[in-house]
Amino acid sequence: MAKTKTVKFKESIGLDIGNHSIKMVHLKKTHHGYKLLNCESLSTIPEGIEPVFSDLSPDRYGPILSQLVKTMKLKPKKVKHLVSSIGGDNTSIKQIKTIFLPDEELESALFFEAKKHLPISGAEMNLDYQVLSVEEKTNNMNILLASSTKALLTDHSNALTSADLTPGIVDLESLAVANSFILNSEEEDGVFVILNIGAFKTNMVIYSSNSKFFARDIAYGGFNFTKDIMKKQKISYEEAERYKLEHGLKEKDVKKDKASLLALDITEKNTIELITQEVKRSLRFYVKEAGNSDFRKILLVGGSASLKGLPEYITEQLQVPAEVFNPFKNLEDSNRPGTTNDPQFAVALGLAMRPE
């Protein structure tokens, strides 16, 4: 995640394979930064059909990915720098502190240390790490541990090869989200909360340049917003999706009182209330663990980040300014025709900008 690393590639592809859609960003390295060559997104779920998460098979990714490569006018064999991501229950990331160890001892020691901190068994675990800093006074090392299951990496690799793409660097979704912010933001001081609101989950990242890194998944996303609207409005899934895109979290005719801020029934906890409740718990935990409560901003990315009323509600509930993050704002040519600056591309952009 460091800005100081030298970027060696001339062109890069960032690939975010999500449960609902696949996003791809094509960048070119320039003397002044990065130039956007292309970006596209294709859904992996037929439009208007209510998805059943347990029935969604990884096999569906290959054909959609092949179609996306053609849409982007790429030749798979000529893609030299491909960075993709994995996420979900079979991945984990945690910052730990340990005594100083030389490089030749560190990797083997961290594998045993990881068993204490990460919820994946050793036999199934693929482990990677990054040394963030070494404390001068104590000589202790601050290390970011990242892990996934071997089965997840195999499924991911199979999806890429089915589209004739050669697997390259594979990063965790949480790190890609953080990179998207770090490499596209001039704000350095304070603690920033990034909520990547996807279809079936929300990936929460807490980042500060001088404090602890934190990431977790919250088991609610855009699909749950739609289900709430279906229940309240007594309409079909397809109708609720259209309603959500048009009205977001607001009533059709917004009233003055606060109770009307949401279109959803406040007599029981709905999705946005559940998400903000989990975010509050995580912020309290972070303050206790990191000793830092200097929360400057909540940045919303992902496919559901642009819902009307969402930033206002989160700001009101958490008392921290919330806004939709534009991941393209520092790219050359980012306002060319056809580019929407859509926050759903934040992960793919963070991947494409990842240093080698």
pLDDT tens string 281-291 = 999 999 999 99
The reported pLDDT for the residue numbered 300 is 97
User: Where do the DSSP E strands lie in the chain?
Assistant: 11-17, 21-29, 34-43, 82-86, 91-98, 125-134, 141-149, 169-172, 191-197, 202-207, 214-218, 295-301, 322-324
CB 33, CB 331: distance < 8 Å: yes
Q: How far is CA 213 from the centre of its chain?
A: 14
Segment among 125-134, 163-172, 203-212, 338-347 with least mean pLDDT: 338-347
Which CATH number applies to 1-89+143-184+327-356: 3.30.420.40, 3.40.50.880, 3.40.1390.40, 3.60.15.10?
3.30.420.40
The reported pLDDT for the residue numbered 96 is 85
pTM recorded for the entire structure? 0.88
In tens, the pLDDT along 36-75 reads 899 999 999 888 888 887 777 878 899 999 999 999 999 9
Confidence at 266, pLDDT banded by 50, 70, 90: very low
In tens, the pLDDT along 79-123 reads 989 999 999 888 989 898 888 888 888 888 888 777 777 776 666
Count how many residues are written for the chain: 356
The reported pLDDT for the residue numbered 262 is 56
Is 260 a residue whose pLDDT tops 80? Answer: no
Confidence at 255, pLDDT banded by 50, 70, 90: very low
In tens, the pLDDT along 229-238 reads 999 899 999 9
Beta carbons within 8 Å of 84's beta carbon, 6+ residues apart = 14, 15, 16, 17, 156, 160, 167, 168, 169, 170, 171, 351
- Looking at domain 187-325, its CATH class is alpha beta
The reported pLDDT for the residue numbered 2 is 43
Confidence at 183, pLDDT banded by 50, 70, 90: confident
Is 222 a residue whose pLDDT tops 70? Answer: yes
Is 345 a residue whose pLDDT tops 60? Answer: yes
The reported pLDDT for the residue numbered 8 is 64
Q: Rounded to an integer, what distance in angstroms lies between the CA atom of residue 242 and that of residue 261? A: 19
The reported pLDDT for the residue numbered 230 is 93
The reported pLDDT for the residue numbered 123 is 67
The reported pLDDT for the residue numbered 254 is 39
The reported pLDDT for the residue numbered 340 is 64
The CATH 3.30.420.40 portion of the chain extends over: 1-89+143-184+327-356, 187-325
Mean pLDDT for the chain? Answer: 86
The reported pLDDT for the residue numbered 279 is 97
The reported pLDDT for the residue numbered 332 is 76
In tens, the pLDDT along 320-344 reads 999 999 988 878 766 665 566 789 9
The reported pLDDT for the residue numbered 216 is 94
Is 213 a residue whose pLDDT tops 90? Answer: yes
The reported pLDDT for the residue numbered 116 is 74
Q: Could you tell me which residue, 269 or 299, shows the higher pLDDT?
A: 299
Q: Would you state the structure tokens that stand for residue 58, as one six-digit string?
A: 């990884």
Mean pLDDT confidence for 200-220: 93
Helix (H, G, I), strand (E, B) or coil at 200: coil
> What percent of the chain is predicted at pLDDT more than 90?
50
Is 261 a residue whose pLDDT tops 60? Answer: no
Strand partners, 35: 28, 332
